[in-house]
Amino acid sequence: MTTNSNLQRVLESGGFAVTAECGPPRSADPDIVIKKGLLLKKHVDAVNVTDNQTAIVRMGSLAASALLKSIGLDPVWQLVCRDRNRIAIQSDILGAAALGINNMLCLSGDHQSFGNQPHAKNVFDLDSMQLLGAARDLRDSGRFIYDSFEIPPAARPGLFIGAAANPFADPFEFRAIRLAKKIANGAQFIQTQCIFNLPKFTKWMKAVRDRGLADKVYILGGVTPIKSAGMALYMKDKVAGMDVPDEVIKRIKGAPKDKQREEGVKLCVETIQKLRKIKGVAGVHIMAIEWEEAVPEIVEAAGLR
Amino acid sequence: MIVGERKPFEEIQSLLRGYKKILLAGCGTCVKVCFAGGDKEVAVLASQLGIANNKAGVKARIDQVTIERQCENEFIDEAARALNGHDCIMSMACGAGVQMLAARFPHLPVLPAVNTTFLGLLDKQGMFLENCQGCGDCVLGRFGGVCPVTRCSKSLFNGPCGGSASGVCEIDPSVPCGWQEIYDRLKALGRLDTLEQTEPPKNWASARHGGPRKLIREDNIL
Ligand code: SF4
Ligand code: SF4
């Protein structure tokens, strides 16, 4: 199904898509979102809006997506299963579409023990697979979960639906199977975990192609510019699902302190250029965590614009 | 079994503050097996309280009784016989046992001495693991005998999340990833194909989410 998504348009026309992440603030200040949005606007095809990432309370991803939409960006609204049951999820999907949001990304969500509300009760009524299926069914058949009511075709939520994949998590052999399941449940595009370990990513992409999956879904390789050796170490040890090989840490450490950012950007650009050459990679997703200013430079240096 | 852990002594003391004739009521079933509230633990708590009271110059009578099964009405008679002018009962059973006593003795305060933690098993000496959340619709048959509701920190039904690494869960390296366990079990059974099927949204109404549950066995009704 074709939606009004700019991201879908770019991908379907065969372009190499570029998206970037925009983390909402830990406040009610809309200007922070707008400022980040304006910074990214001319450089990306869509902006990903994170949903209380690492379980730290932030401005809601739907509200921030609507703010970005209002200044002409194409937001990718992220939605996690941690905080909402199926009632809230389906209701938010309808609301998002009504606000003109065209893309959503379905995620399980980081466990609340990571964040600033470790005493919270989590939900996980649905998992990310079931969330994908629910979003697809609302869009394609107008059906709510286990309900015979049907939304009239013109009023169904026309969203371009995505999911995440982590090629670096275990068990490795299951990762391509899991991707196949996500596609079967409606995933049209995939955003991967940050890629620092290219050999492993390449191996995963081969498994994905061997299963014929690269033709069924648009895969956006996730990249993150490293700000400092400290950040690299932190990601390696503290961030769930990250694979930061020692060579990467060594390379950033090898640069003088005031040149580490530069080296991080360089490494990121190199990774993008390598990703472009891998068959089946349809674009990149740049996650410059609290460093959105780096995105225009990376996009330009990688020759993406 | 039901696994519990005795509350910290300070909390028990503050619950008992002001009471002068206390009956400590243990249970001889699950909490005995997990060393939280059997006859031995009752005796230990009684002597701890006695020593503390002596030190503080508090006068209180502390009696002990351990009932075979505190969650069954017929066994509660034993507690009834032990009652003798007590002004409170401190139960060392699981939450069900505490509530059974509270229902049976509506005029007496019944206080918990144990934190009921989970349904689980003894993994190795001194370590209990949670295995079941009593979801009311057991799916173990499809998951190689490992419970996705309980053993996965996010109760995922369609495979491991992106945080599973080297067999441990993203929340803590001391927590095994339930999905790695499911995967390994199904692999050993030659049934990895079951993981290719999508598990549809679960009906949680049979779990606690449908309100307090009740089980009626018509064939057992007298
Ligand atoms: S599926 Fe339900 S009943 Fe079976 S072990 Fe898990 S929580 Fe218990
Ligand atoms: S790491 Fe494993 S146990 Fe932990 S939430 Fe993810 S799948 Fe579940």
Alpha helices in A100-238 (DSSP H): 128-140, 172-184, 198-210, 229-238
B193-206 pLDDT, tens per residue? 999 999 999 999 99
B80 domain-assigned: yes
B93 & B199 share domain: no
Neighbours of B219 (CB within 10 A): 5
Decide which of 3.90.1150.10, 3.20.20.110, 3.20.20.220, 3.40.50.2300 is the CATH code for A6-165: 3.20.20.220
Confidence of residue B136 (pLDDT cuts 50, 70, 90): very high
B83 & B6 share domain: yes
Could you give the CA distance from residue B169 to residue B164 in angstroms, rounded to a whole number?
5
B114 & B173 share domain: no
B151 & B99 share domain: no
B112 & B141 share domain: no
Confidence of residue A43 (pLDDT cuts 50, 70, 90): very high
Shortest CA distance from A240: residue in chain B: B163
Instruction: Report how far Cα A27 is from the mean position of its chain's Cα atoms.
Output: 22
B95 domain-assigned: yes
Could you give the CA distance from residue B48 to residue B90 in angstroms, rounded to a whole number?
14
Neighbours of A101 (CB within 10 A): 28
Q: What does pLDDT average to over chain B?
A: 96
DSSP characters over A205-255:
HHHHHHTT-TTTSEEEEEE-----HHHHHHHHHHSTT----HHHHHHHHHS
A92-110 pLDDT, tens per residue? 999 999 999 999 999 999 9
List the domain boundaries for chain A.
6-165
B21 & B104 share domain: yes
Mutate to test the interface with A, among B133, B161, B177 (most CBs of A within 10 A): B161
Give the model's pLDDT for residue B26: 98
Give the model's pLDDT for residue B38: 97
B213 domain-assigned: no
Task: Report which bound ligand comes closest to the CA of B202.
Answer: 1
B114 & B137 share domain: no
- Look at B170 and A111 and tell me if their CB atoms are within 8 Å: yes
Task: Report which bound ligand comes closest to the CA of A82.
Answer: 2
> Touching check for A169 and chain B: CB below 8 Å?
yes
- Look at A169 and B163 and tell me if their CB atoms are within 8 Å: yes
Q: Which domain holds residue B82?
A: 2-118
Reported ipTM: the value is: 0.94
What CATH number has the domain bearing residue B66?
A: 3.40.50.2300
Distance from CA of A169 to the nearest CA of B (A): 5
B13 & B46 share domain: yes
B34 domain-assigned: yes
> Touching check for A170 and chain B: CB below 8 Å?
yes
Q: Which residues of B touch A193 (CB under 8 A)?
A: 162
Looking at the structure of chain B, the number of domains it has is 2
- Look at A171 and B153 and tell me if their CB atoms are within 8 Å: no
A259-282 pLDDT, tens per residue? 999 999 999 999 999 999 999 999
B221 domain-assigned: no
B45 & B151 share domain: no
Give the model's pLDDT for residue A2: 79
B98 & B176 share domain: no
Mutate to test the interface with A, among B149, B150, B154 (most CBs of A within 10 A): B154
